């Protein structure tokens, strides 16, 4: 069992969807970073549902408390513990699915793995709620990265086949601004509107949709990553796959590489302003598991959420008979808009760990 991620910058998450709260212990954060609860709150607020028409009606204030590791406004180098209490919990409904697992959710596998002792309410540890902890830790990582000029943007590029086409990756600051303006986190305003309409429509009929997010990391120095097993792409993919609902990750042109020739795929080197750069970025800024100094670009696929109001077939695990399941309860019809800050955080956690391993980030900041 592992609720921890990272080697030298190590985060351990805890909590359940309908328990007392969720939180995280961040061990290995460099000392000397000025940090307050409001730094964390900004990121947590980004993750909160914004538009009730396209997200769960559960309204959690998500107020963070820092319990340790910060003194006189600066990190001390000791573990930072943060907690967010759950306040808008309605659990009665989940008795219905206790022994009738939702198809596609983790209810059945959790029941088998933990012998029925698991906290099944709201999906327990498998709930998207646990990503609050990732985002709280991610806020620290993002603040550390900003000291090195490294920036991460996550944006929606596809929802149920509607594709974002008109956006520009060359200026990450303007990309971030456009993404922030879209209720669905899409940088192409026309596609954003279509996506929004679709998610609303699908939610109204009690169904759900999946999609693809793109994560862009700019200004990462070359040479970050640890062959053989701790490659940068491997560690990023692992962090992304820990986010509930993620079903695939690709870097650069990703799976399209299978139908390209070497002469088309290879990113030619050239010089720009005294720096070695590549003319294309088909490898997504990572070669041999190491950053090459170009933007890291990867795409992450989210499945449509399992909790839908349309009746589905399941098995009653006590009576051992097939039954119909009709869900009520509070759900997101699409994970993407809420997952974008989680993706940024996941990437930031991995990058800080690797920058410390590479001795680029010192243990004391001055
Ligand atoms: C921010 C966020 C919110 C989510 N909201 C829901 C939801 O409302 N309903 C649901 O069925 N799944 C939701 N999920 C996804 C489930 O937690 C996930 O599908 C489930 O744990 C099974 O894991 P898997 O899809 O990775 O196999 C959410 C995930 C995230 C990251």
- Identify which of 45, 49, 245 to mutate to test ligand 1's pocket (most ligand atoms within 8 A of the CB): 245
* Residue 115 pLDDT > 90: yes
Q: Is 286 helix (H, G, I), strand (E, B) or coil?
A: strand
Which band of pLDDT confidence, cut at 50, 70 and 90, is reported for residue 361?
very high
Share of the chain above pLDDT 90, in %: 90
Q: How far is the CA of 213 from the centre of ligand 1 (A)?
A: 15
- Identify which of 13, 120, 127 to mutate to test ligand 1's pocket (most ligand atoms within 8 A of the CB): 127
- Identify which of 238, 306, 308, 312 to mutate to test ligand 1's pocket (most ligand atoms within 8 A of the CB): 306
Which band of pLDDT confidence, cut at 50, 70 and 90, is reported for residue 58?
confident
Which residue is listed with tokens 């209720």?
Answer: 183
Q: What is the pLDDT of residues 10-37, one digit of tens each?
A: 999 999 999 999 999 999 999 999 999 9
Evaluate: CB of 46 within 6 angstroms of ligand 1. Answer: no
pLDDT at 254: 98
* Rounded to 5°, angle at Cα 216 from 211 and 221: 155
* Residue 187 pLDDT > 80: yes
Mean pLDDT of 275-302: 98
Residue minimizing CA distance to atom 26 of ligand 1: 245
Q: Are 125 and 14 in contact (CB under 8 A)?
A: no
Give the separation between CA 316 and CA 71, rounded to whole angstroms. Answer: 52
Evaluate: CB of 58 within 6 angstroms of ligand 1. Answer: no
SS3 per-residue string spanning 133-168: HHHHHHHHHHHHHHCCCCEEEEEEEEECCEECCCCC
Share of the chain above pLDDT 70, in %: 100
pLDDT at 56: 83
Q: Is 59 helix (H, G, I), strand (E, B) or coil?
A: coil
In the chain, the domains with their CATH numbers are 4-357 (3.60.150.10)
pLDDT at 148: 97
**Side-chain-facing half-sphere of 308: CA atoms under 13 Å:** 22
pLDDT at 60: 83
Evaluate: CB of 105 within 6 angstroms of ligand 1. Answer: yes
Mean pLDDT of 38-55: 90
Mean pLDDT of 138-145: 98
How crowded is residue 256: how many other Cβ atoms within 10 Å of its Cβ?
Answer: 12
Q: Are 246 and 302 in contact (CB under 8 A)?
A: yes
Evaluate: CB of 84 within 6 angstroms of ligand 1. Answer: no
Evaluate: CB of 338 within 6 angstroms of ligand 1. Answer: yes
- Identify which of 60, 118, 203, 244 to mutate to test ligand 1's pocket (most ligand atoms within 8 A of the CB): 244
Mean pLDDT of 269-282: 96
Query: What is the DSSP secondary structure assignment for residue 125, as one 8-state letter?
Result: G
Higher pLDDT: 326 or 92? It is 326
Q: Whole-number mean pLDDT of the chain?
A: 95
* Residue 307 pLDDT > 80: yes
Evaluate: CB of 333 within 6 angstroms of ligand 1. Answer: no
pLDDT at 109: 97
Give the separation between CA 282 and CA 298, rounded to whole angstroms. Answer: 10
28-32, 118-122, 267-271: lowest mean pLDDT where? Answer: 118-122
Which band of pLDDT confidence, cut at 50, 70 and 90, is reported for residue 1?
low
List the one residue out of 351, 352, 332, 354 whose CA is nearest residue 131: 332
Q: How far is the CA of 105 from the centre of ligand 1 (A)?
A: 7
Evaluate: CB of 127 within 6 angstroms of ligand 1. Answer: yes
Ligand 1: atom nearest CA of 330 is 8
Which band of pLDDT confidence, cut at 50, 70 and 90, is reported for residue 341?
very high
Evaluate: CB of 339 within 6 angstroms of ligand 1. Answer: yes
* Residue 93 pLDDT > 90: no
pLDDT at 194: 98
């Amino acid at each position: 069992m592992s609720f921890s991620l990272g080697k030298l910058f190590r985060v351990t998450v805890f909590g359940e969807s309908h328990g007392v709260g969720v939180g995280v212990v961040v061990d290995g954060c460099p000392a000397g970073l000025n940090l307050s609860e409001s730094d964390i709150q900004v990121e947590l607020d980004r993750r909160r549902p914004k538009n009730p028409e396209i997200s769960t009606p559960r309204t959690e204030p998500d107020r963070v408390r820092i319990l340790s590791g910060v003194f006189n406004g600066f990190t001390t180098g000791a573990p930072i513990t943060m907690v967010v209490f759950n306040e808008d919990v309605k659990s009665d409904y989940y008795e219905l699915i206790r022994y009738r697992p939702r198809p596609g959710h983790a209810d059945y596998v959790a029941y088998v793995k933990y012998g029925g002792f698991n906290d099944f309410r709201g999906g327990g540890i498998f709930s998207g709620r646990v990503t609050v902890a990732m985002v709280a830790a991610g806020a620290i990582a993002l603040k550390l990265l900003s000291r090195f000029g490294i920036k991460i943007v996550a944006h929606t590029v596809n929802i149920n086949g509607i594709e974002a086409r008109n956006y520009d990756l060359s200026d990450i600051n303007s990309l971030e601004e456009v993404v922030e303006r879209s209720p669905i986190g899409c940088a192409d305003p026309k596609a954003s509107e279509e996506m929004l309409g679709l998610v609303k429509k699908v939610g109204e009929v009690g169904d759900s949709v999946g999609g693809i997010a793109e994560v862009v990391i700019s200004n990462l120095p070359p040479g970050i990553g640890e062959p053989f097993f701790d490659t940068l792409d491997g560690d990023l993919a692992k962090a992304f796959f820990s986010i509930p609902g993620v079903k695939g990750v690709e870097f650069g042109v990703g799976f399209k590489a299978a139908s390209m020739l070497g002469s088309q795929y290879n990113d030619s080197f050239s010089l720009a302003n005294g720096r070695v750069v590549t003319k294309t970025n088909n490898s997504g800024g990572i070669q041999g598991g190491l950053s090459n100094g170009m933007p890291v670009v990867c795409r992450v696929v989210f499945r449509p959420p399992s909790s839908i109001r349309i009746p589905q077939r399941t098995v009653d695990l006590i009576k051992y008979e097939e039954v119909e399941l009709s869900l009520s309860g509070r759900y997101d019809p699409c994970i993407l808009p809420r997952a974008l800050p989680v993706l940024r955080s996941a990437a930031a956690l991995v990058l800080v760990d690797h920058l410390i391993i590479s001795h680029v980030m010192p243990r004391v900041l001055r």
